């Protein structure tokens, strides 16, 4: 089902599979990523990192490094302390070291920085710096962190234990009662491991301070340049960096996925170095630094319980979670949501009672708690509920599809108020699951499975019927550092009828230069080819909160539509003047105002644009432009149903995904080609943590997966051949009926895969497997359960 | 740690360059920093991601694992050398038409690897393409459309070959 296409291909509004406007520069090798930028006199920064997870720094000796040809400076925490810049706030109101003055808190933490004339010399100098450490007892296991005799990590904050915060939502007592009255209760421990987004471009920046103008320009791999500018002004205002003198430029970004939202110490050190030296300083981390020190995602230890009637009607959900945040809470959630949107965990089901609590702890691991292509902990929530529904189905001996149909929120229940407080905007869950089942041939697969089981073969079918929550957010609930989570579009129509549109978001591959142009084409009838889209320069773009959490279409996409409609209203006035009729006598079709009843009397949007500068009505301001800051009335709730079929090799434990059908519903589609691409990529980033990826630490806090040698990203060989389809249930409150789609598949896919593997092994008493499902893990289960 | 520099001569995208380089200088840095050919990217430090793939004497190599001195006398082709007279190479065209790129960071390496693949095997199966690009990581596309892009280019190149043979 395609969205209704209202414009001809010459205009290329919504619903067209328009080829991307941004492609050419990337295909010709002319993309402009941060490491491609070279400034005159630029210096290079490299970083000394801690070999210990927890240690006291006894001394740092930089003499040998400073004596090397080409080494310009060495910066330590003591140097930054003079300016009170050795600590910085995190987005969650915690504090993080820029460079340490006394203690290091995780392996690979920044200890000192070298500035040199060449990146090779900087790397040599890093080796020449001598740091003496006194190792301290590390706290690695988050459960150990809560034991009374565990070393207290954040004594700097006056803490007496390692507990960060407790957060709860829902009705504890009513949920308790529902559990007491239930026919059936299932309970499962689910660990959602620590993983890393590992975008193929790592993080980096060029800080360029002009001592004469007092202006700082920072080219930075950031998904949220405006927030970075404001944060820099807040943190470094006392050393003279005032917001109007800070320009953050986010050039082409080689993938973000949430990993380029935080402000990492490396950025701040490079800025400090540039200010101190008065020269541009480039810092580009390598892959090991990226995996070992940048924000991780997930790391949730979940205990989930479902209560149900014996007929399979779910009556209550209860979840208790321990969140390992590393040594500081550097999540990138909206301020009021320490556990993000985890309370979407009632999922696609009409569950009357629910109670969720999360406790966060400090450990000697890198800080974070960011998303991995996910809207603030939604993957954790979806994984928990979609796993639990299968655990319950297994307990009841019921088909997992049947159990889902029995408990789905029904189409006539929308808008639906969930037990944990969300108002779901729209959905048709049975239709999506039915479509997925038809596409994959569900009943036939179940028959095949029965035959294979009889022969002792291991085949499994797994379902995930997820609901997402994206597009933060309504500003009454959502802010970052107090800044409300609206987003913006500034649209100008030139005299020749071409346009430029600037946004507060920042594409990292999502195709904004094309989709935003299509939205404006849809609303104004100006060909999308003629709409230039710009983002990422805080000196020119309107303020916005950036691109993450699938928020660009729900917020900035809506802002584009609203700005275009403002332009159209002014255009109507000009058209009425040009045609010498009243505004009410005009009707609009894409790109043209016509006089009602006299359709040959018309003016095009291009005629109107020219008139706006050459012949505008007396008393009217010249020009044709508009700005809109869009504050969504609600979040949007994309959903979908995925079905995965696996075969397991008994000899090796290898799981082979035979088929994977994904039916997604993101409301009205702007560009079906781009949406499919987003889903392909999202599915692969769902497959990856389900089967391959995990950041693993030993008991001393040494990272065991610190490079692509050990942190496995899927290649084209492992990645399944995705089959995608769509249903369309528009959002009732979004101006275009759209919902956001970049992360749905990452959120929904892992549970379908695990459910399939558990289904294959369920005859042998297996009820759960934690991700990643490695061959060794399955092989062990096969042996423990006596399958082989 | 400065060492004596070595003189190297490389032909890159048809232009011959002679330069004095440190023996440890990686080819990728020579291309990016000395020749300003920044289309070749760096994505890891362990030769896994393939973002830095270029053609060296017609073979796809990961230029982060080749020393510039090893390339002395070699003919190098980078993404900047793929288009002819401003016209996209069929692989570039294929990636555009089939939406085989999103953030674009892995794309140059992917295209250079695919160029070698198609030079050796003009009509690869999907399986052969998937194995062929398994040394190149993409985090955005899920590979589906990259495979289609390479199939598109293979078709185009075969047609071009046939047309040339016929004329």
Render pLDDT for A77-110 as a digit per residue (tens, 0 to 9): 999 999 999 999 999 999 999 999 999 999 999 9
Neighbour count for residue A237 (Cβ, 10 Å): 12
Q: What residues form DSSP beta bridges with A424?
A: A416
Interchain proximity A120–B103, CB inside 8 Å: no
Tokens linked to A24? 């050419």
- Mean pLDDT for A725-748 is 97
The CA distance from B143 to B141, in Å, is 5
Q: Does A253 touch chain B (CB under 8 A)?
A: yes
In this complex, the residue of B46, B103, B143 whose CB is nearest that of residue A508 is B103
Q: Does A712 touch chain B (CB under 8 A)?
A: no
Nearest CA in chain B to A38: B33
Catalytically annotated residues of A: 223, 373-374, 743
Nearest CA in chain B to A510: B102
Interchain proximity B103–A255, CB inside 8 Å: yes
Confidence (pLDDT) at A651 = 96
Q: Does A680 touch chain B (CB under 8 A)?
A: yes
Cβ neighbours for A82, distance < 8 A, ≥ 6 positions apart: none
Confidence (pLDDT) at A462 = 98
Interchain proximity B101–A254, CB inside 8 Å: no
Nearest CA in chain B to A680: B142
- How far from the centroid of its chain's Cα atoms is residue A217's Cα? 26
Interchain proximity A685–B99, CB inside 8 Å: no
Closest CA to A258 of A424, A506, A476, A33: A506
Tokens linked to A644? 């995965």
Interchain proximity A257–B2, CB inside 8 Å: no
List the alpha helices (DSSP H) in A331-441. Answer: 378-396, 400-407, 429-440
Cβ neighbours for A178, distance < 8 A, ≥ 6 positions apart: A307, A315, A316, A352, A353
- Mean pLDDT for B29-45 is 97
pLDDT tens track for A519-540: 999 999 999 999 999 999 999 9
- Mean pLDDT for A425-433 is 98
- Mean pLDDT for A488-500 is 98
Run of H or E including A565:
helix A558-579
In this complex, the residue of B80, B83, B144 whose CB is nearest that of residue A680 is B144
Contact assessment for residue A273 and residue A207, using Cβ atoms and an 8 Å cutoff: yes
Closest CA to A508 of A200, A108, A178, A177: A200
Q: Does A723 touch chain B (CB under 8 A)?
A: no
Q: Does A705 touch chain B (CB under 8 A)?
A: no
Neighbour count for residue B98 (Cβ, 10 Å): 22
Nearest CA in chain A to B23: A120
pLDDT tens track for B59-85: 999 999 999 999 999 999 999 999 999
Phi then psi for residue A137, to 5 deg, are -65, 120
Which residues in chain A have their CB less than 8 angstroms from residue B53's CB?
A: none
Is the pLDDT confidence value at A703 over 50?
Answer: yes
Mutation pick from A716, A720, A748 vs chain B, by most beta carbons of B within 10 Å, is A716
The CA distance from A588 to A523, in Å, is 10
Instruction: Output the DSSP codes for A297-325.
Output: EEEEEEEEEEEE-TTS-EEEEEEEEEEE-
Cβ neighbours for A546, distance < 8 A, ≥ 6 positions apart: A222, A223, A224, A225, A226, A227, A261, A504, A505, A506
In this complex, the residue of B39, B134, B139 whose CB is nearest that of residue A30 is B39
Closest CA to A271 of A131, A113, A82: A113
Contact assessment for residue B122 and residue A219, using Cβ atoms and an 8 Å cutoff: no
In this complex, the residue of B2, B45, B78 whose CB is nearest that of residue A69 is B2
Confidence (pLDDT) at A1 = 41
Confidence (pLDDT) at A239 = 86
Interchain proximity B78–A722, CB inside 8 Å: no
Provide the angle, in degrees to the nearest 10, between the axes of the packed helices A744-761 and A672-691.
Answer: 40
Interchain proximity A715–B135, CB inside 8 Å: yes
**Percent of all residues in chain A with a pLDDT value above 70, rounded to a whole number:** 100
Cβ neighbours for A36, distance < 8 A, ≥ 6 positions apart: A251, B32, B38
Sign of torsion over alpha carbons A607, A609, A613, A616: positive
Q: Region of A436 please: left (phi>0), alpha (psi -120 to 50) or beta.
A: alpha
In this complex, the residue of A19, A676, A707 whose CB is nearest that of residue B46 is A707
Pairing mode, strands A296-308 and A368-370: parallel
pLDDT tens track for A126-172: 999 999 999 999 999 999 999 999 999 999 999 999 999 999 999 99
The domains located in chain B, with CATH, are: 6-81 (3.10.20.30), 90-162 (1.10.150.120)
Interchain proximity B43–A257, CB inside 8 Å: no
Q: Does A40 touch chain B (CB under 8 A)?
A: no
Closest CA to A681 of B98, B136, B139: B139
Neighbour count for residue B123 (Cβ, 10 Å): 11
Confidence (pLDDT) at A3 = 54
Contact assessment for residue B128 and residue A533, using Cβ atoms and an 8 Å cutoff: no
- Mean pLDDT for B136-164 is 97
Interchain proximity A19–B96, CB inside 8 Å: yes
Cβ neighbours for A533, distance < 8 A, ≥ 6 positions apart: A21, A500, A501, A502, A503, A512, A513, A514, A516, A517
Tokens 């969504």 belong to which residue? A632
3-state secondary structure A61-123: ECHHHHCCCCEEEEEEHHHHHCCCCCEEECCCCCEEECCCCCEECCCCCEEEEEEECCHHHHH
- Secondary structure (3-state) at A18: coil
Interchain proximity A681–B141, CB inside 8 Å: yes
**Percent of all residues in chain B with a pLDDT value above 70, rounded to a whole number:** 98
Phi then psi for residue A390, to 5 deg, are -70, -35
pLDDT band of residue A722 (cuts 50, 70, 90) is: very high
**Percent of all residues in chain A with a pLDDT value above 90, rounded to a whole number:** 98
pLDDT band of residue B1 (cuts 50, 70, 90) is: low
Confidence (pLDDT) at A304 = 98
Q: Select A23-29+487-630's CATH number: 3.40.50.300, 3.30.365.10, 2.70.70.10, 3.30.300.210.
A: 3.30.365.10
Q: Does A717 touch chain B (CB under 8 A)?
A: yes
The CA distance from A596 to A509, in Å, is 43
Interchain proximity A254–B105, CB inside 8 Å: yes
How far away is chain B from the Cα of A689, in angstroms, using its nearest Cα? 13
Is the pLDDT confidence value at A778 over 50?
Answer: yes
Closest CA to A678 of A536, A474, A507, A530: A507
The whole-chain average pLDDT of chain B stands at 97
Q: What residues form DSSP beta bridges with B10?
A: B17
pLDDT band of residue A345 (cuts 50, 70, 90) is: very high
The CA distance from A314 to A352, in Å, is 8
How far away is chain B from the Cα of A153, in angstroms, using its nearest Cα? 32
Confidence (pLDDT) at A235 = 86
Residues 100-139 of A with CB under 8 A from B: 119-121, 124
Identify the burial level of A389 via C-beta atoms within 10 angstroms of its C-beta, where 0-12 means exposed, 13-18 middle and 19 or more buried: buried
Q: Does A286 touch chain B (CB under 8 A)?
A: yes
Closest CA to A675 of B103, A4, A667: A667
Interchain proximity B102–A509, CB inside 8 Å: yes
Provide the angle, in degrees to the nearest 10, between the axes of the packed helices A605-614 and A558-579.
Answer: 70
In this complex, the residue of A30, A252, A509 whose CB is nearest that of residue B140 is A509
Nearest CA in chain B to A678: B141
């Amino acid at each position: 089902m395609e969205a209704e296409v209202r414009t001809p291909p010459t205009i290329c509004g919504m619903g067209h599979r328009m080829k991307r406007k941004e492609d050419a520069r990337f295909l010709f090798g002319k993309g402009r990523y941060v490491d491609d930028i070279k400034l005159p006199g630029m210096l290079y920064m490299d970083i000394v990192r801690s070999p210990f997870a927890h240690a006291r720094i006894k001394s740092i000796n930089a003499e040998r490094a400073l004596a090397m040809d080409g080494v310009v400076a060495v910066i330590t925490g003591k140097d930054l302390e003079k300016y009170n810049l050795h600590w910085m706030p995190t987005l969650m109101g915690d504090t993080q070291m820029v460079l340490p003055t006394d203690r290091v808190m995780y392996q690979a933490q920044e200890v000192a920085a070298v500035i040199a004339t060449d990146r090779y010399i900087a790397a040599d100098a890093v080796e020449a710096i001598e740091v003496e450490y006194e190792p301290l007892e590390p706290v690695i296991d988050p459960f150990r962190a809560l034991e009374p005799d565990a070393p207290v990590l954040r004594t700097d904050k006056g803490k007496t234990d390692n507990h960060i915060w407790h957060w709860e939502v829902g009705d504890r007592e009513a949920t308790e009662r529902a559990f007491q009255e239930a026919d059936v209760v299932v309970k499962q421990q689910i660990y959602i491991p620590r993983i890393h987004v590992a975008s193929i471009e790592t993080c980096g920046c060029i800080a360029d301070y002009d001592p004469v103008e007092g202006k700082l320009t920072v080219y930075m791999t950031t998904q949220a340049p405006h927030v970075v500018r404001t944060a820099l002004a807040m943190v470094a205002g006392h050393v003279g960096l005032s917001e109007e003198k800070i320009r953050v430029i986010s050039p082409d970004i080689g993938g973000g996925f949430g990993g380029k939202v935080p402000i990492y110490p490396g950025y701040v050190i490079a800025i400090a170095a540039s200010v101190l030296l008065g020269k541009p300083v480039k810092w580009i981390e390598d892959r090991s630094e990226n995996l070992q020190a940048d924000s991780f995602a997930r790391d949730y230890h979940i205990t989930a319980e479902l209560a149900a009637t014996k007929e399979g009607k779910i009556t209550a959900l209860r979840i208790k979670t321990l969140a390992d945040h590393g040594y500081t809470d550097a999540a990138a959630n909206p301020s009021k949501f320490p556990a993000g949107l985890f309370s979407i965990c009632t999922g696609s089901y009409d569950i009357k009672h629910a109670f969720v609590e999360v406790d966060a702890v400090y450990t000697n691991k890198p800080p974070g708690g960011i998303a991995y292509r996910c809207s603030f902990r939604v993957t954790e929530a979806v994984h928990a509920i979609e796993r639990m529904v299968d655990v319950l189905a297994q307990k009841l001996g019921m088909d997992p599809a049947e159990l889902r149909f029995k408990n789905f929120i029904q189409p006539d229940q929308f808008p639906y108020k969930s037990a944990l407080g969300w108002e779901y905007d729209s959905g048709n869950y049975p239709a999506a699951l039915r479509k997925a089942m038809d596409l994959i041939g569900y009943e036939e697969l179940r028959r095949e499975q029965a035959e294979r089981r009889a022969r002792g073969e291991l085949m499994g079918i797994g379902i995930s019927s997820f609901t997402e929550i994206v597009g933060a957010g309504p500003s009454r609930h959502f802010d970052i550092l107090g800044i409300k989570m609206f987003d913006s579009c500034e649209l100008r129509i030139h005299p020749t009828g071409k346009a430029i549109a600037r946004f507060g978001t920042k594409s990292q591959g999502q195709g904004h230069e094309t989709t935003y142009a299509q939205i404006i084409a849809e609303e104004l009838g100006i060909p999308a080819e003629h709409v230039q889209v710009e983002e990422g320069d805080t000196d020119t773009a309107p303020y916005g909160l950036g691109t993450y959490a699938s928020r660009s279409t729900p917020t900035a996409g809506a802002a584009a539509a609203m700005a275009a409609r403002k332009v159209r209203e002014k255009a109507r006035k000009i058209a009425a003047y040009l045609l010498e009729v009243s505004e009410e006598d005009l009707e609009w079709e894409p790109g043209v105002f016509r006089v009602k009843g006299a359709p040959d009397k018309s003016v095009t949007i291009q005629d109107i644009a020219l008139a706006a500068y050459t012949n505008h009505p007396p008393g009217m301001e010249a020009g044709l432009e508009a700005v809109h800051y869009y504050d969504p009335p609600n979040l949007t709730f994309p959903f979908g149903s995925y079905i995965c079929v696996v075969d397991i090799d008994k000899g090796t434990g290898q799981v082979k995904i035979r088929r994977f059908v994904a039916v997604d519903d993101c409301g009205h589609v702007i560009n079906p080609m781009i949406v499919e691409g987003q889903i392909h990529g999202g599915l692969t980033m769902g497959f990856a943590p389900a089967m391959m990826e995990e950041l693993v630490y030993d008991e001393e806090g040494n990272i065991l997966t610190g490079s692509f040698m050990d942190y496995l990203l899927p290649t084209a060989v492992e990645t399944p051949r995705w089959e995608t389809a769509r249903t369309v249930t528009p959002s009732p409150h979004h101006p275009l009926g759209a919902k956001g789609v970049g992360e749905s598949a990452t959120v929904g896919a892992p549970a379908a895969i695990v459910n399939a593997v558990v289904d294959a092994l369920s005859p042998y008493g297996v009820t759960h497997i934690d991700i990643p499902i490695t061959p060794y893990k399955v092989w062990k289960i096969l042996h423990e359960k006596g399958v082989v | 740690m400065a060492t004596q520099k070595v003189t190297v001569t490389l032909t890159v995208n048809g232009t011959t360059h002679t330069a004095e380089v440190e023996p440890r200088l990686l080819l990728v840095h020579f291309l990016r920093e000395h020749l300003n050919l920044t289309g070749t990217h760096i994505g890891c430090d362990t030769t896994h991601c393939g973002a830095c793939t270029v053609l060296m004497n017609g073979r796809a190599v990961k230029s982060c694992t080749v020393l510039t001195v090893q390339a002395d006398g070699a003919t190098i082709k980078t993404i900047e050398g793929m288009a002819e007279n401003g016209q996209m190479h069929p692989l570039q065209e294929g990636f555009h038409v089939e939406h085989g790129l999103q953030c674009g960071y892995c794309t140059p390496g992917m295209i250079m690897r695919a160029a070698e693949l198609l030079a050796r095997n003009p009509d690869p199966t999907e399986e052969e393409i998937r194995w062929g690009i398994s040394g190149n990581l993409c985090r955005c596309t899920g590979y589906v459309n990259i495979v289609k892009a390479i199939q598109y280019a293979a078709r185009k190149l075969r047609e071009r070959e046939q047309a040339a043979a016929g004329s």
